[in-house]
């Protein structure tokens, strides 16, 4: 007997299993919406491929040969597995089962994601969500290597191969203690900024790059900076007068409302940023991904300052 080197054809396998169950070419043709001739040709092609006869024909009835009896349970299992696979894929698309991998900046992880994920869980309780924290450059690399599906991040530069859906815009400002001289005067001059200790977020992040470029355009060279990786730490140090923090106002809404911090504009004009959802260019988002992006839009509506 010749060895079989090709995989089984799914249509032939379905025709075999149906004919084995019905025992009739006529009934099999009706169930599969084909002609009796098409069923006959399909079974002959299958028998030719496997090298053995699978059916004995007695009048209008057909019966399984010994080879057919051996093949029948395997064929039925193949068809069940294929149906299970289709059902699983349909459930992922329709009901959000499966996974959602989200990259997010430290800022959004702390101040935005808890609300978004709480709403998301109500719609997709069976979806496994994984959060990968990091700054913009890391998010771009994770997206490019298909290690995350979406990234909640600042708008990257061009040439990244990503699509970016805008969520909201904000402005980086100087936050100081109400006892600070700048809080009393209501403004920050370039001269004063040069000599103050400026508390900034991680160097190398998109926010840091924007700040450096902004100050360079205003011909401001800082003499003292302190780098931290925590927004909360920046706020706390600014509160006690260690220096002046550079943050967006929405990150310090509570402190500004209670008066423990004062927000002032940077010299050289407004320093605006754009936040959004990024994903690989040309990739169609699933239902769960679209829902997550929509929830991000809803949660951030009140933060948009243009």
Q: Following DSSP, what letter does each residue of 49-87 receive, concatenated?
A: HHTS--EEEETTEEEE-HHHHHHHHHHHHHHHHHHHHHH
CB-based contacts of 40: which residues, under 8 Å, 6+ apart?
Answer: 25
Dmax (CA) of the chain: 104
Percent of the chain residues topping a pLDDT of 70: 94
pLDDT on residue 47: 93
Cα separation of 203 and 207, whole Å?
Answer: 8
Pairing of strands 98-104, 127-133: parallel
Q: Top-level CATH class of 98-167+274-303?
A: alpha beta
What pLDDT is attached to residue 91?
62
Q: What is the CATH number of domain 170-273?
A: 3.40.190.10
- Residue limits of CATH 3.40.190.10 in the chain: 98-167+274-303, 170-273
End-to-end CA distance of the chain: 75
Q: What is the pTM for the complete model shown?
A: 0.69
The per-residue pLDDT for range 113-126, each reduced to its tens digit, is: 999 999 999 988 88
201 φ, ψ (degrees, to nearest 5): -80, 170
Report d(CA 228, CA 198) in Å as an integer: 11
**Residues forming beta bridges with residue 171, ordered by sequence position:** 272
**Angle value at C-alpha 101, between 164 and 117, nearest 5 degrees:** 90
Higher pLDDT, 3 or 236: 236
pLDDT value of position 7: 80
Phi, psi for 285 (deg, rounded to 5):
-80, 145
Q: Which residues pair with 176 in a beta bridge?
A: 262
Average pLDDT of the segment spanning 200-216 = 87
Q: Which part of the chain is CATH 1.10.10.10?
A: 10-95
The three-state secondary structure class of 281 is coil
Residue 279 clears pLDDT 60, i.e. is over it:
yes
Q: Percent of the chain, pLDDT > 90? A: 68
pLDDT mean over 245-271: 95
Please report the pLDDT score of residue 3 as a whole number: 46
Cβ–Cβ < 8 Å for 74, 43? no
Q: Does domain 10-95 have CATH number 1.10.10.10?
A: yes
Mean pLDDT value of segment 153-179: 92
- Residues contacting residue 105 through CB under 8 Å, at least 6 positions apart: 133, 134, 135, 136, 139, 152, 153, 154, 205
Tell me which of 8-12, 37-41, 78-82, 85-89 is least confident: 85-89
Res. 2: pLDDT tops 80 = no
């Amino acid at each position: 007997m010749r060895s079989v080197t090709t995989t089984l054809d799914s249509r032939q396998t379905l025709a075999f299993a149906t004919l084995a169950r019905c025992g009739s070419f006529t009934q099999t043709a009706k169930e599969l919406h084909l002609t009796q001739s098409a069923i006959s040709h399909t079974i002959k092609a299958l028998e030719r491929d496997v090298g053995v006869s699978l059916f004995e024909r007695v009048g209008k009835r057909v019966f399984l040969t010994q080879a057919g009896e051996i093949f029948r349970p395997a064929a039925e299992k193949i068809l069940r597995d294929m149906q299970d696979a289709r059902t699983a894929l349909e459930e992922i698309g329709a009901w959000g089962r499966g996974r959602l991998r989200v990259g997010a900046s430290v800022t959004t992880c702390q101040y935005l994601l808890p609300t978004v994920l709480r709403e998301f869980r109500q719609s997709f309780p069976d979806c496994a969500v994984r959060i990968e924290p990091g700054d913009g450059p890391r998010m771009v690399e994770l997206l490019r290597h298909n290690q995350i599906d979406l990234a909640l991040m600042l708008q990257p530069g061009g040439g990244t191969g990503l699509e970016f859906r805008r969520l909201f815009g904000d402005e980086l400002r100087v936050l100081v203690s109400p006892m600070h001289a700048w809080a009393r005067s209501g403004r920050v001059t370039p001269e004063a900024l040069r000599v103050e200790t400026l508390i900034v977020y991680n160097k190398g992040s998109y926010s840091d790059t924007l700040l450096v470029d902004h100050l360079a355009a205003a011909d401001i060279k800082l003499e003292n900076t302190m780098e931290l990786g925590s927004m909360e730490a920046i706020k706390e140090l600014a509160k006690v007068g260690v220096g002046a923090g550079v943050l967006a106002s929405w990150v310090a809404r509570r402190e500004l409302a209670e008066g423990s911090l004062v927000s002032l504009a940077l010299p050289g004009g407004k320093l605006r940023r754009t936040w959004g959802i990024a994903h690989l260019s040309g990739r169609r988002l699933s239902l769960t991904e679209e829902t997550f992006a929509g929830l991000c839009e809803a949660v951030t509506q009140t933060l948009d300052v243009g």
